[in-house]
Chains A and B, each alone.
Chain A
Amino acid sequence: DTAVSQTPKYLVTQMGNDKSIKCEQNLGHDTMYWYKQDSKKFLKIMFSYNNKELIINETVPNRFSPKSPDKAHLNLHINSLELGDSAVYFCASSPRGLDTEAFFGQGTRLTVV
């Protein structure tokens, strides 16, 4: 059973389009994240949610809108895609606590052409 699953795994789209990435975790975790990993492998936090509530928004352009319908799901919708949005997007989840592991999805490789 996949603990954190993201769909799709690959996404190729044209500039200006709108796209969504879905994430689901079956671990019962309270906290979920979206990270962006660029070509230099920097894993940059975008959003953090706790029990469906937005906790952290790391100055992400408002073209990016996360939505958490319940604590097991955290989706990412991106409007008006730009070339610079090309990256691998990782969803992760963790329990609350100081000694807890974050579990990552397999990543979504987004390519904007």
Chain B
Amino acid sequence: QKEVEQNSGPLSVPEGAIASLNCTYSDRGSQSFFWYRQYSGKSPELIMFIYSNGDKEDGRFTAQLNKASQYVSLLIRDSQPSDSATYLCAVLRGGSNYKLTFGKGTLLTVNP
């Protein structure tokens, strides 16, 4: 079982729609969860993180975490063509074996 799994996509949504990105993880010791965005040819950059069960909102972005189901998601409201990128889910295990593990990413395309 892969440590962090995401639908590879591509996911295509019209401009103004809600894009929903999903991620599951296998390590129950994971403590924090991150969403990174990566434009083609660029480095990943952080969108937001979450470490408590429930929802966390930041502008048009909402992260949702369910530790019992080992599931984390990202909702993008009012999607814009500039949101077109690969979205990487990452999980952090703290402690002595501090490790940030990424999923394979979901390619999102927002069509004007």
B46–A41 contact, CB under 8 A? no
> Which of A43, A90, A92, A98 is most buried by chain B, counting CB atoms within 10 A of its CB?
A43
Give the CA-CA distance A94 to B94 in the complex, in Å: 12
Q: What residue in chain A is nearest B88 (Cβ atoms)?
A: A43
Give the CA-CA distance A105 to B44 in the complex, in Å: 9
Q: Is the interface of B mostly helix, strand, loop or mixed?
A: strand
Interface locus among B11-19, B61-69, B75-83, B100-108: B100-108
How big is chain B's contact interface, by range?
A: 20 to 34
Residue B1 at the chain A interface, CB threshold 8 Å = no
Number of A-B residue pairs at CB separation under 8 A: 61
Q: What residue in chain B is nearest A31 (Cβ atoms)?
A: B98
Residue B38 at the chain A interface, CB threshold 8 Å = yes
Which residues between 24 and 75 of chain B lie within 8 Å of chain A, taking CB atoms? 31-32, 34, 38, 42-46, 49, 51
B99–A99 contact, CB under 8 A? no
B32–A98 contact, CB under 8 A? yes
Give the CA-CA distance A99 to B63 in the complex, in Å: 14
Q: How many residues of A contact B (CB 8 A)?
A: 25
Q: What residue in chain A is nearest B86 (Cβ atoms)?
A: A41
B43–A50 contact, CB under 8 A? no
Give the CA-CA distance A92 to B100 in the complex, in Å: 10
B106 to chain A, nearest CB (A): 10
Residue A107 at the chain B interface, CB threshold 8 Å = yes
B77 to chain A, nearest CB (A): 23
Binary flags per residue of A30-47, CB closer than 8 Å to B gives 1, else 0: 010101000011111100
Knowing A42-B105, A43-B44, A106-B43, say if A98 contacts B94 (CB, 8 Å).
yes
Residues of A within 8 A of B (CB): 31, 33, 35, 40-45, 48, 50, 55-56, 90, 92, 94, 96, 98-99, 101-102, 104-107
- 5 closest Cβ pairs, A-B complex: A104-B43, A43-B102, A98-B32, A101-B46, A42-B104
